[in-house]
Structure 1
């Protein structure tokens, strides 16, 4: 029986390349000279460090440009509110990986409401869709691509 998986994954290598490029641009910019501004990776999240909240905004813009050039969807990044303490500012940026159970339930509900002849099941941080015909699966993919669920979706493991 044909099937495919719906996942939300991020290419870690491309993300680290984007971070390196962003840090290089920050080091070379005149408005960041002597500011000790940098973007760090902390496990699965990112942290921006600078002297002011304005510099954090500039750094976030640089990071977004580098990430999009590397083919990473911006919906995978969610910045939090900046924290300013004693002439230092920092901002955490969450990196979303995997499909949360709430979003997975919405995906399954959306597929079931479409009345397509496919079944969707939640398997951890991914959703598996199975059907009798390949055409039904392709219709399900088109249906999901047309709707925005707030995170980047990839369709992998397509099997006949």
Structure 2
């Protein structure tokens, strides 16, 4: 039996689920009466989604559809980082939505500080864009997970490699 137990805190998303959500969004845009003739395109890249449409009003409608499809596929809405709306040729608008992956240094420091302050027998260590949490008891790790789920961090947190 191991003397210490640990888990990793990461910020990631299932890319295939995102592909499916964008695909469903595109299909709904083609079938909806109010969006059918807007010549809207939703393009998914490796690190961003680019939306091109005819007005900011339809852009907001597409945001709503995309968020609904992502939420149905258990994707956190915190992965979307909306860029500014730009004017495109032909009286159209374009927006790039960056996809957030990984825990930044500042947020990782906040997480380790919270663990250090509230849980004396638990250690948190920053490892790249993840945080490793270890303790001698599995129960303590469970309470850390529950406490971190209560906090509202600007990134989506997942708890992996629980051992």
Mapped pair 1:149 → 2:153? yes
Mapping for residues 87-106 of structure 1, pairs under 5 Å: 87-106=91-110
- In structure 2, distance between residues paired with 1:85 and 1:147: 39
Once the two structures are TM-superposed, the CA of residue 35 in structure 1 deviates from its matched residue by 2.0
When residues 116 and 140 of structure 1 are mapped into structure 2, their CA distance, relative to the original with a 3 A threshold, is farther
C-alpha distance in 2 between matches for 1:158 and 1:122: 16
Other-structure match for 2:8 = 5
* TM-score, length basis structure 1: 0.95
Aligned to 1:62: 65
Tell me the residue number matched to 1:18: 21
Query: RMSD value over aligned CA atoms?
Result: 1.1
* 8 Å contact kept, 1:116–1:140: no
Q: Which runs of 5+ in 2 are unaligned?
A: none
Residue 58 of structure 1, CA deviation: 0.9
Q: Deviations over 1:92-148 (max 9, x none)?
A: 111111111111011001111103311100001100001111111111111111111
**Residue in structure 2 matching 1:34, options 16, 37, 44:** 37
Question: Structure 1: which 5+ runs fail to align?
Answer: none
1-structure distance, mates of 2:62, 2:75: 17
- Aligned length in residues: 159
